[in-house]
Chain A
């Protein structure tokens, strides 16, 4: 392993443009940055890699002035600086370009590019449009868009043009450090190449890029150095030339991940096919076949935006898709969640508070949200039989060992893990045949995670088919009996039993056929 702090190298060239020393960021109960060192030279493109939760976004937020470090220092040009707010970051020449651009689509290119810097003024009040457009044109020229009319609305631009306009906006505030947070997610391969060419050109002008991505092949195309983070700490920094794809994956995942965790995989052979999907296609999916049997937990893994989330959304009627879906042999036509529920599907969404719960309603009311009909007295007046409702909810919540101050207390008073139990309990009360679990363990602690895995398993053991997806790959290893790995909207591999490892999933999802 070639680590960055080779003594000779640092002295033989001018000091780095940006340097982070011994950065620590503590949140109650967790440490998001753990004595991290990072440096960026002028004129380099530096990849910042790590799994979800490794601490990349915490580092970026610290650099952008969106949060304050608990300890440690940030230096620009060798001088310690206090990035106390985003305005200060901008003044120091640090600019972040987010995944979906920090652009307002309804405004023109000029208005967006000069948003921070300020439009030209005439007589102190009126906008000097001619000067503003002219200045924008010069900036567009620098990012390789010389023919773009600065009066165009950003909404009318292509994805790569938007990415470059966002870079132009950073240049407008004289940024010398540009942090690109997954800029290629929405880009076509040819557009990615254009973006990279412009990045190299700007790097040659002395700008330093921090490039965050999940796509490892891109790292080798454009980056000079690579820094890998894990669990908030530094794994290492290497020259891109010193690593290859496989050794980089090893660094990302870490050797200790091979150690087995407590598993929640099936103990009995699966039953009949419950969910049968044929030729599912949409704007991302390219003809996907999927079968899940009673008692099975089937994982669907992919990089963000490459299919896993889209499968769940398509099955539940949240995303336009074509294809044949049958549940227990009955054809299910699902165009909206209402039809999905009627067909026997259930969703545990990723955003618990935004999509899973009504926070000001009680635990009981949240738990029976999908099954209110089964408690009505008759189809006309539809009075709710609250006694029966109460006893059934109480039974399920006892089974889930929910910790609460009573079923009538508002659901927002619960901890994250207990809230998730209420969402899962909702579908235990229904006779759902297919459960779609979309990152069900997001932002819950390790112990509750294990409880949720156990729940996923018990849902399957009750005879349902469970579809599981997550952004954390080790979850697939612990809970899934089979894993379909998608790349670019198509299945590139299926793993079962012992074949399911973080490494094998990662290799496949980066588009490598061989495991």
Chain B
């Protein structure tokens, strides 16, 4: 008797598990919409654009074109997804992407590093270290990731401008580096190859490894993870390190694609779109959870809409507006479902 009264004394203790076992039709519809809504809209977009412009949109060439257009965004967004799994916002990725592209070009152009492969690896290692430093500030300094990465991103932007004297590197970049952005394997553009590799590696990392499992646990409930004996703090270093490395890789592909090392503005275009893609992804298949497959779908959705609207001759401002509306709808559907469940 006293035990049942204890339950009643703190009704909130049963909180989220409250009303259970009642699934109404509307609940099921909401569930379906929020799980498969983004995939459905992706399919719908493809069908509509194909019907309207069958000879331009629905070609294999345009298909690779779309993939090529979204590959850099995809690589950056996939890295960001790892950080978001742990609930860490990485705002430094714009600065990081710019730094990565510029540094690789600079080192190769002035002969600091002769081999393009080594230059790329060096930049990736540097990015990992910088990301891990942001992670250390977050984990051990108690600064929110939002602020820490905002600060680091600003520092990086300043450093690139200072080092470059605001001069774009136009010459001396070896062809071996440019292949990264301009080469093809069969019909597949190199950026798409990189996107595929990053997607597979990070998918395996998050879904199939112990570290990935721990990251999801920490992102879900850091206190539970800590009490289960997981060394919670060091995972912030890993997460922001991976996010930074992916941003730097994206920046290098931009540089290789354009054939120039720009000291500013490279990453900024991708910052908001990568968040949009990751959040659209978090409303797909597994609502409320960031995951690689979801981000890939989010990236594709953004790519198809941009490409399709361009082909239709729709003005750029419409493209921004439509993208914003889709993001809102996707995130709204997911959060609505999560709220319903509480």
A369 sits at the interface (CB 8 A): yes
Query: Which residues of chain A from 372 to 395 have a CB within 8 Å of any chain B CB?
Result: 372-373, 375-376, 381-384, 386
Chain B residues whose CB sits within 8 angstroms of the CB of A386 once the complex forms: 208
Across the interface, do B15 and A353 meet the contact criterion of CB distance under 8 Å? yes
Chain B residues whose CB sits within 8 angstroms of the CB of A336 once the complex forms: 226
| Given A27-B11, A357-B224, A419-B17, CB of A441 within 8 Å of CB of B3 | yes
- Partner-binding segment picked from B87-95, B168-176, B214-222, B248-256: B214-222
Query: Which residues of chain B from 1 to 52 have a CB within 8 Å of any chain A CB?
Result: 1-11, 13-17, 20
A247 sits at the interface (CB 8 A): no
- Partner-binding segment picked from A28-36, A132-140, A198-206: A28-36
Chain A residues whose CB sits within 8 angstroms of the CB of B224 once the complex forms: 354-358, 369
Q: How far is the CA of A86 from the CA of B290 in the complex (A)?
A: 40
B225 sits at the interface (CB 8 A): yes
A65 sits at the interface (CB 8 A): no
Chain A residues whose CB sits within 8 angstroms of the CB of B227 once the complex forms: 316, 318, 337, 347, 349, 355-356
Chain B residues whose CB sits within 8 angstroms of the CB of A56 once the complex forms: 9
Chain B residues whose CB sits within 8 angstroms of the CB of A342 once the complex forms: 229
| Given A360-B289, A384-B209, A384-B213, CB of A53 within 8 Å of CB of B2 | yes
Across the interface, do B3 and A412 meet the contact criterion of CB distance under 8 Å? no
Chain A residues whose CB sits within 8 angstroms of the CB of B211 once the complex forms: 382
Across the interface, do B8 and A416 meet the contact criterion of CB distance under 8 Å? no
With both chains docked as a complex, state the minimum distance between the C-beta of A445 and any C-beta of chain B, in angstroms: 7
Q: How far is the CA of A232 from the CA of B3 in the complex (A)?
A: 11
Across the interface, do B2 and A51 meet the contact criterion of CB distance under 8 Å? yes
Chain B residues whose CB sits within 8 angstroms of the CB of A426 once the complex forms: 228
Chain A residues whose CB sits within 8 angstroms of the CB of B230 once the complex forms: 338, 369-370
Across the interface, do A55 and B9 meet the contact criterion of CB distance under 8 Å? yes
Q: How far is the CA of A31 from the CA of B204 in the complex (A)?
A: 51
Quick one: which of B8, B17, B226, B231 contacts A32, CB cutoff 8 A? B8
Chain B residues whose CB sits within 8 angstroms of the CB of A109 once the complex forms: none
Main secondary structure of the interface of B (DSSP, over half): helix
Q: Which chain A residue shows the least CB distance to B5?
A: A53
Cβ proximity bits B179-219 to A, threshold 8 Å, 1 near / 0 not: 00000000000000000000000001000111101101100
Query: Which residues of chain B from 284 to 342 have a CB within 8 Å of any chain A CB?
Result: 288-289, 341
| Given A359-B16, A442-B13, A443-B10, CB of A337 within 8 Å of CB of B229 | yes
A52 sits at the interface (CB 8 A): yes
| Given A340-B229, A341-B229, A365-B217, CB of A52 within 8 Å of CB of B15 | no
With both chains docked as a complex, state the minimum distance between the C-beta of A269 and any C-beta of chain B, in angstroms: 30
Q: Which chain B residue shows the least CB distance to A31?
A: B8
Q: Which chain A residue shows the least CB distance to B15?
A: A353
With both chains docked as a complex, state the minimum distance between the C-beta of A442 and any C-beta of chain B, in angstroms: 7
A324 sits at the interface (CB 8 A): no
Across the interface, do A58 and B221 meet the contact criterion of CB distance under 8 Å? no
| Given A231-B1, A231-B2, A359-B221, CB of A381 within 8 Å of CB of B209 | yes
Chain B residues whose CB sits within 8 angstroms of the CB of A232 once the complex forms: 5, 8
Chain A residues whose CB sits within 8 angstroms of the CB of B217 once the complex forms: 358, 361, 365, 369
With both chains docked as a complex, state the minimum distance between the C-beta of A327 and any C-beta of chain B, in angstroms: 15
Of the listed residues A316, A381, A426, the one surrounded by the most CB atoms of chain B closer than 10 A to its CB is: A381
B223 sits at the interface (CB 8 A): yes
Quick one: which of A57, A338, A382, A445 contacts B7, CB cutoff 8 A? A445
A54 sits at the interface (CB 8 A): yes
A400 sits at the interface (CB 8 A): no
Chain B residues whose CB sits within 8 angstroms of the CB of A182 once the complex forms: none
A413 sits at the interface (CB 8 A): yes
Across the interface, do A415 and B5 meet the contact criterion of CB distance under 8 Å? no
With both chains docked as a complex, state the minimum distance between the C-beta of B232 and any C-beta of chain A, in angstroms: 9
Quick one: which of B7, B214, B226, B288 contacts A337, CB cutoff 8 A? B226
Across the interface, do B4 and A445 meet the contact criterion of CB distance under 8 Å? yes
Across the interface, do B223 and A354 meet the contact criterion of CB distance under 8 Å? yes
| Given A338-B231, A347-B227, A382-B211, CB of A442 within 8 Å of CB of B6 | yes
A446 sits at the interface (CB 8 A): yes
Cβ proximity bits B65-95 to A, threshold 8 Å, 1 near / 0 not: 0000000000000000000000000000000
Quick one: which of A30, A369, A412, A415 contacts B16, CB cutoff 8 A? A412
Across the interface, do B220 and A53 meet the contact criterion of CB distance under 8 Å? no
A472 sits at the interface (CB 8 A): yes
| Given A361-B216, A361-B217, A365-B216, CB of A54 within 8 Å of CB of B16 | no
Q: Which chain A residue shows the least CB distance to B213?
A: A372
Across the interface, do B3 and A53 meet the contact criterion of CB distance under 8 Å? yes
A148 sits at the interface (CB 8 A): no
Chain B residues whose CB sits within 8 angstroms of the CB of A446 once the complex forms: 3-4
Across the interface, do B5 and A372 meet the contact criterion of CB distance under 8 Å? no
Chain A residues whose CB sits within 8 angstroms of the CB of B14 once the complex forms: 416, 443
Q: Which chain A residue shows the least CB distance to B338?
A: A360
Q: How far is the CA of A42 from the CA of B216 in the complex (A)?
A: 56
A230 sits at the interface (CB 8 A): yes
Chain B residues whose CB sits within 8 angstroms of the CB of A192 once the complex forms: none
A455 sits at the interface (CB 8 A): no
Chain A residues whose CB sits within 8 angstroms of the CB of B10 once the complex forms: 57, 443
Cβ proximity bits B260-287 to A, threshold 8 Å, 1 near / 0 not: 0000000000000000000000000000
Q: How far is the CA of A194 from the CA of B8 in the complex (A)?
A: 35
Across the interface, do A357 and B221 meet the contact criterion of CB distance under 8 Å? yes
Across the interface, do B220 and A360 meet the contact criterion of CB distance under 8 Å? yes
A-B contact pairs, 16 of them (CB 8 A): A27-B7, A30-B5, A55-B5, A318-B227, A337-B227, A349-B227, A355-B223, A355-B227, A356-B224, A358-B220, A358-B221, A365-B213, A383-B204, A384-B209, A386-B208, A472-B3
Known pairs A230-B2, A382-B209, A386-B208; list 5 more (Cβ under 8 Å): A338-B229, A341-B228, A354-B224, A414-B17, A416-B17
Could you tell me which B residues sit within 8 Å of A by CB distance?
A: 1-11, 13-17, 20, 204, 208-211, 213-214, 216-217, 220-221, 223-231, 288-289, 341
The 5 tightest CB contacts between A and B, nearest first, are A341-B229, A53-B6, A32-B8, A358-B220, A30-B8
